[in-house]
């Protein structure tokens, strides 16, 4: 998208988040759901396809634009971003980057319009940090594939119309090479979505287990080359990590804004707690860390768009920003004192919500392994 048009989109999204979503946060938290009118307004804005290609109804945002939008999404409840996150991100990008023209035409316009929801189904009980060890199988039966296995923690599964499923097509391969990606209709016989998971936070964003029992998938629903699905999963996850890093920056900004407002007005000993230097130190540390995260995200996004860095940068940004937002949220609770432990406060909610970012789309430990692998693959000359 050209920068002038993007500036308008960014302004609109910023206003939408602050004027339309923020006032509904408690309702979303209490009902554990995104209200239907908000979902419809989000679709109307085009947010279900902001990162999908223009020719299929999206805005075609590049990563430098995606992360600036994500700063805004992160400012409010994560359920808002999650409602359209899988369409634009991990699920939609598999189709946009690796699908055939027929697959793109069949699915992307409906995803971009928010008429259909797509989920990304990779994780299994013994294949989370090590997805290459996944056991879900796909065996050929004439012009169809038969998929069997169980995926867990699948975001938006209870709402999904379409699953991007990763399954082993070559039983003799134990690692990534024998894995393929499939587009599976959620109404397929043999596909069962389990009850919604009960989570620590991120209420209104739903996950569930999905089981496949000899689910028939037409041969034309295999995405990309047979046996190359693992590569497509890793490609979209790297992109997703950079996006999540930006969401963390947005959340840290919200926690800091709440903390500064509280410190400026809440009194102890007859003066605002913001007059006490130890409270000032907490605010200052959070500000410095959050701005470091923002700069890192912007510079990695520019390198990503230029094709210079699609691995070490996204993992570094995800590692730094997800750990950073946890520290900022922890300080946010501390600045609020006992009030920060009460579920009426934004910081209490964001403390729980932000804990997820160190876990999904690769834990912090896995980001470290990726960073070290990249460093050691081309050691600098001494
Ligand atoms: C709310 C939520 C939403 C999710 N959404 C999706 C989704 O939409 N689609 C999807 O496919 N998945 C999804 N996931 C799954 C998520 O990506 C995994 O939970 C995550 O990658 C961690 O895998 P795991 O849970 O199996 O933990 P494990 O891999 O069992 O990790 C447990 C601990 O062991 C550590 N560990 C594991 N292996 C190593 C190693 N080699 N070296 C060092 N430490 C290691 C981990 O860092 C962690 O500390 C979601 C998860 C959650 C909680």
Cβ atoms of 250 and 72 within 8 Å: the answer is: yes
Q: Which long-range contacts (CB under 8 A, 24 or more apart) does 355-360 make?
A: 355/200, 355/201, 355/326, 356/78, 356/199, 356/200, 356/201, 356/202, 357/244, 357/247, 357/248, 357/318, 357/321, 357/322, 357/325, 357/326, 358/322, 358/323, 358/326, 360/153, 360/244
Distance CA 284, CA 312 (A): 28
CATH topology classification for 118-227: Butyryl-CoA Dehydrogenase, subunit A; domain 2 (2.40.110)
Q: Name the segment(s) of the chain with CATH classification 2.40.110.10.
A: 118-227
Distance CA 337, CA 343 (A): 13
Catalytic residue (choose from 25, 258, 348, 361): 361
| Other Cβ atoms closer than 10 A to 200 | 11
The segment(s) of the chain belonging to CATH 1.20.140.10 are 231-377
Global pTM value = 0.98
Instruction: Return the pLDDT at 128.
Output: 97
| Cα-to-centroid distance, 199 and ligand 1 (Å) | 14
Distance 360 CA to ligand 1 centre (A): 6
Distance 317 CA to ligand 1 centre (A): 18
- Which residue owns the Cα nearest ligand 1 atom 50? 153
Domain 231-377 is in which class? mainly alpha
Assess contact for 215 and 188: CB atoms under 8 A.
yes
Query: Residue 381 pLDDT > 80, yes or no?
Result: no
88-122 pLDDT per residue, tens = 999 999 999 999 999 999 999 999 999 999 999 99
DSSP SS3 for 240: helix
Structure confidence at residue 174 (pLDDT): 80
370 lines ligand 1 (CB under 6 A): no
Q: How confident is the model at residue 378 (pLDDT cuts 50, 70, 90)?
A: confident
Q: Note whether 242 and 67 are within 8 A (CB).
A: yes
Q: 């080359």: which residue's tokens?
A: 225
Q: Is the CB of 242 under 6 A from ligand 1?
A: no
Pocket test for ligand 1, best of 92, 236, 359, 364 (most atoms within 8 A of CB): 359
User: Given ligand 1 and candidates 121, 131, 153, which is best to mutate, with the most ligand atoms within 8 Å of its CB?
Assistant: 153
Q: How far, in Å, CA of 54 to CA of 340, rounded? A: 43
Fold for 3-112, please state it. Butyryl-Coa Dehydrogenase, subunit A; domain 1 (1.10.540)
Instruction: Give the CA count within 13 Å in the CB-facing half-sphere of 233.
Output: 28
Ligand 1 centre distance from Cα of residue 191 (Å): 23
pLDDT of 382 strictly over 80: no
Q: How confident is the model over 181-210, as pLDDT tens digits?
A: 999 999 999 999 999 999 999 999 999 999
Domain(s) of CATH 1.10.540.10: residues in the chain: 3-112
């Amino acid at each position: 998208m050209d920068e002038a048009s993007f500036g308008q989109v960014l302004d609109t999204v910023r206003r939408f988040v602050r004027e339309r979503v923020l006032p509904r946060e408690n309702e979303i938290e209490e009902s554990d759901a995104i209200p239907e009118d908000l979902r419809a307004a989000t679709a109307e804005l085009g947010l279900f396809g902001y990162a999908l290609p223009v020719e299929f109804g999206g805005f075609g945002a590049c990563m430098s634009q995606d992360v600036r939008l994500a700063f805004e999404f992160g400012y409010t409840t994560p359920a808002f971003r999650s409602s359209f996150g899988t369409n634009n991100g991990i699920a939609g990008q598999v189709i946009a980057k690796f699908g055939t023209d027929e697959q793109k035409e069949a699915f992307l316009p409906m995803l971009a319009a928010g008429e259909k929801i797509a989920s990304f189904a990779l994780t299994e009980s013994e294949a989370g940090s090590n997805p290459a060890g996944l056991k879900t199988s796909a065996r050929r039966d004439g012009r169809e594939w038969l998929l069997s296995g169980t995926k867990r923690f699948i975001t938006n599964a209870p709402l999904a119309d379409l699953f991007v499923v990763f399954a082993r097509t070559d039983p003799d391969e134990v690692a990534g090479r024998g894995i393929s990606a499939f587009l599976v209709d959620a109404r397929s016989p043999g596909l069962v979505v389990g009850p919604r998971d009960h989570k620590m936070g991120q209420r209104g964003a739903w996950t569930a287990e999905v089981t496949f029992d000899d689910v028939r998938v037409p041969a034309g629903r295999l995405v990309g080359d047979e046996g190359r699905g693992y590569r497509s999963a890793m490609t979209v996850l790297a992109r997703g990590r950079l996006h999540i890093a930006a969401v963390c920056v947005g959340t840290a900004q919200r926690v800091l804004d709440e903390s500064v407002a509280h410190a400026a007005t809440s009194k102890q000993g007859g003066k605002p707690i913001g007059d006490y230097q130890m409270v000032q130190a907490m605010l200052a540390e959070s500000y410095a860390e959050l701005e470091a995260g923002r700069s890192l995200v912007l510079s990695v996004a520019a390198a990503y768009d230029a094709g210079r860095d699609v691995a070490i940068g996204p993992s570094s940004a995800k590692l730094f920003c997800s750990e950073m937002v946890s520290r900022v949220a922890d300080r946010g609770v501390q600045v609020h004192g006992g009030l920060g432990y009460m579920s009426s406060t934004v910081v209490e909610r964001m403390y729980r919500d932000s804990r997820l970012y160190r876990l999904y789309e690769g834990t912090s430990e896995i980001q470290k392994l990726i960073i070290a692998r990249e460093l050691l693959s081309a050691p600098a000359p001494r």
